[in-house]
């Protein structure tokens, strides 16, 4: 499942994204992984704001360990770890430029990068919680990515899960800005099909070979 994605740095500072605007080419990309602080769009009163939250709920016995990091959409309203946050409106959105997936097969992990074609970004659904942890001088805000069954493109990896991406018209329902019952909120979590996404194998950075140590370059001796 997805444990890494990229976003435009300026997008993470923007809540009311203008869909007709094209991101500038000079905006830096930023990569986010599990345990990073993510910029999560949430509802606060009648407004939207971003909050920094750690990706991964704290393990019950050791808060430093991120477990779980994903929540299945099918059981998000019944699984103990997520149900209360889902019901209480602790739901957020994280904007992604691309995301990574790996085949669900034995052996070394082979990451693939999925990039949307016609869309400038993807809006991933998250749920979050606040934790008051002994020994920490401030609350820990943590979030998990909601997942849905994989679409036909990702199923070819193969993998059976993918992030739940929200349609723009569903943002208000998911964030709790629009009056809706929990069945309608849960219905926002759908597998995205029929999209012009591209999927490419991620190339690992090559390690430069060290030259034979010489007096002028003795680093190979150490």
Question: Which domains does the chain possess?
Answer: 4-221 (3.90.1680.10)
Give the pLDDT score at 207: 45
Rounded to an integer, what distance in angstroms lies between the CA atom of residue 28 and that of residue 47? 27
The predicted model gives 76-96 an average pLDDT of 97
Dist. CA 215–CA 2, nearest whole Å: 47
Q: Are 12 and 95 in contact (CB under 8 A)?
A: yes
pLDDT at 84: 97
pTM of this prediction? 0.84
Q: Mean pLDDT across the chain, nearest whole number?
A: 86
pLDDT in tens, 35-77: 999 999 999 998 999 999 999 999 999 999 999 999 999 999 9
pLDDT confidence of residue 109: 87
How many angstroms from the chain centroid is the CA of residue 5?
6
- C-alpha dihedral (168, 170, 172, 175), degrees to nearest 10: -110
């Amino acid at each position: 499942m997805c444990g890494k994605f990229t976003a435009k740095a300026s997008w993470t500072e923007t809540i009311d994204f203008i869909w007709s605007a094209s991101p500038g080419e000079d905006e830096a990309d930023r990569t986010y992984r599990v345990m990073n602080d993510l910029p999560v769009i949430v509802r606060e009163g009648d407004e939207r704001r971003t909050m920094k939250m750690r990706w991964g709920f704290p393990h019950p016995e050791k808060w430093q360990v991120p477990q779980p990091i994903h929540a299945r959409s099918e059981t998000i309203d019944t699984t103990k770890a997520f149900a209360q946050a889902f019901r209480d409106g602790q739901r957020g959105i994280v904007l992604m430029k691309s995301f990574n997936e790996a085949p669900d097969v034995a052996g070394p992990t082979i990451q693939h990068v999925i990039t949307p074609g016609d869309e400038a970004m993807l809006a991933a659904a998250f749920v979050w919680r606040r934790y008051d942890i002994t020994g920490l001088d401030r609350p820990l805000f943590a979030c998990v990515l909601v997942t849905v069954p994989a679409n036909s493109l990702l199923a070819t990896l193969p993998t059976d899960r993918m992030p739940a991406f929200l349609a723009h018209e569903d943002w208000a329902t998911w964030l709790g800005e629009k009056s809706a019952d929990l069945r309608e909120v849960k219905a926002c979590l759908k597998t995205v099909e029929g999209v012009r996404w591209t999927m490419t194998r991620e190339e690992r950075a090559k390690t430069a070979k060290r030259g034979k140590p010489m007096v002028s370059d003795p680093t190979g001796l150490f």
